[in-house]
Structure 1
């Protein structure tokens, strides 16, 4: 099995179109050692031809152009994207669905009932697409039951409920429901390897830590370095935890949590905000991650398992 990181940045991408923070300004001017990133999304395949798209970011068209496997050209109208799974209803994870409207058959979509409700009401994506390609909606349970992925033979995913927040437009923003945000467990029965994926994560509970410890690879939230990162830069009054993201540094942070995992587990951060100093490949913060055996995802990264 293979995971392809289509986009490794948080919402807005890197550089963000209207941001002049030291990272974005430095990347545009070529004064920092960093590479551009599109908004967070991965694709998973068993055979290299049929893919599950996990999150459809606003950058999906660029990501398809940069990934020939997603456009195999087997017929006059074709796509390697066999199904789409949305881990939440955040705008930077769902608006790319609108770019897939030209599909010439109904698009299988896997979502929890909670995400479906937000995408039927607050941001009526399902209703809009019913006038174009149409959707075959498969509701995901969050009770640990593995689910077969339509169109991707041999691929099962196990949804895991996470402690995070639904999008700001959701009426449940201040009162999150189980199922507003999920992670995924993907097992390869042939190799015995397991991937744990969670692009949005506000807390690592003992139960979640046990699941991470059972994995061969963890691909988890790398949005912010510090809890007050956006506040210090004057970009937002909200802290990282207010936005549903566990920062890497500080007591109880992601580094401390990942240090609890065996050294044999591969640890990768994804969904990295444009303000995060780990984007600079020669930064002290990146060196700190390396010291702890933690990688930083990049667009085009491939993980075989």
Structure 2
């Protein structure tokens, strides 16, 4: 199984177009050791030919152009994308579908709650009815499995996470199971598994069970501290308030990952304010010492 990180940043990418925070300013002026990042998405395949996209960020066109394995190989119009799995209905995870409108119908796998949001509050599915159209395939919220026709040797398990729906969702203040999911991807022939959850606000028992049962973790690395955006006068909202478990502090992601043994650990969905983007920072050294990696655009994981 091969996992390609198409985008490793949080919403807005890095540097963010209108941001002059400590990180964005220094990266633009070559004053820090770091890498630009597009918005979060991965692609997964077991044969290097047929790929499943996890989320479609607004940066999808540039991401696909930088990844030859998924580009057209046969005929006038072609793509290696066979299906899309959406973990939620957030703008930075779904807008990219509009950039794929010139192709064949999109086979989209997501929960019923995500489908509702993308048919009402942010009606991407309806917008595409006059273009490629969308074929919706529901996925479970209870951890049970599903497969995708044409994607050989891969099985997927999805479970609900505690989260808020996006601000435009009709049930923004009435959370439902399926607003956000974590997914285990299993290669059937080898038994190798990866757990993907770029938006993780709470480590529920079933989440920890999933984390302990896989060979590789790709989990929420959005913020270093709970008050990160408050401290930088960017937003009054705290990390946990918007559904992201910070890395540092009691009960933070580092502490959680230290309790997971014999597993490769990778943080993804990194916000532009996070000090771990500076590869020479003490925060990055803390992760290095803990054996925790930071995803970057173009990163490939082979299991």
TM-score bin (small chain)? over 0.9
1:294 equivalent in alignment to 2:301: no
Aligned counterparts, 1:4-83, within 5 A: 4-83=4-83
Aligned counterparts, 1:1-305, within 5 A: 1-103=1-103, 105-262=104-261, 264-305=262-303
Q: Is the 8 A contact 1:229 1:240 kept in 2?
A: yes
Alpha-carbon distance, 1:202 to partner: 0.4
Question: Which of 216-225 and 157-166 deviates more?
Answer: 157-166
Q: Is the 8 A contact 1:40 1:271 kept in 2?
A: yes
Alpha-carbon distance, 1:151 to partner: 3.1
Alpha-carbon distance, 1:190 to partner: 2.2
Q: 5+ residue gaps in structure 2?
A: none
Question: Which of 90-99 and 164-173 deviates more?
Answer: 164-173
Alpha-carbon distance, 1:257 to partner: 0.6
Alpha-carbon distance, 1:189 to partner: 2.3
Matches of 1:137 and 1:150 in 2, distance apart? 14
Alpha-carbon distance, 1:291 to partner: 1.1
Question: Which of 232-241 and 191-200 deviates more?
Answer: 191-200
TM-score, length-scaled by structure 2: 0.98
Question: Which of 193-202 and 141-150 deviates more?
Answer: 141-150
Q: Give 3-state SS (helix, strand or coil) of 2:19's partner.
A: coil
Q: Deviations over 1:152-201 (max 9, x none)?
A: 22222111111122111113222211100001001122222111110000
Matches of 1:110 and 1:169 in 2, distance apart? 21
Matches of 1:121 and 1:160 in 2, distance apart? 23
Q: Is the 8 A contact 1:5 1:41 kept in 2?
A: yes
Alpha-carbon distance, 1:23 to partner: 0.4
Q: Give 3-state SS (helix, strand or coil) of 1:203's partner.
A: coil
Runs of 4+ in 1 over 6 A off after TM superposition: none
Q: Give 3-state SS (helix, strand or coil) of 2:182's partner.
A: strand
**RMSD across aligned C-alpha pairs, in angstroms?**
0.9
State the number of aligned residues.
Answer: 303
Q: Give 3-state SS (helix, strand or coil) of 1:130's partner.
A: helix
Q: Is the 8 A contact 2:88 2:181 kept in 1?
A: yes
Matches of 1:148 and 1:52 in 2, distance apart? 11
Matches of 2:141 and 2:214 in 1, distance apart? 18
Q: Is the 8 A contact 1:83 1:150 kept in 2?
A: no
Matches of 2:205 and 2:136 in 1, distance apart? 32
Q: 5+ residue gaps in structure 1?
A: none
Matches of 2:163 and 2:59 in 1, distance apart? 23
Matches of 1:165 and 1:291 in 2, distance apart? 33
Alpha-carbon distance, 1:40 to partner: 0.0
Q: Give 3-state SS (helix, strand or coil) of 2:224's partner.
A: coil
Q: Is the 8 A contact 2:153 2:189 kept in 1?
A: no
Q: Give 3-state SS (helix, strand or coil) of 2:271's partner.
A: coil
Matches of 1:298 and 1:259 in 2, distance apart? 21
Alpha-carbon distance, 1:141 to partner: 1.2
Matches of 1:110 and 1:257 in 2, distance apart? 29
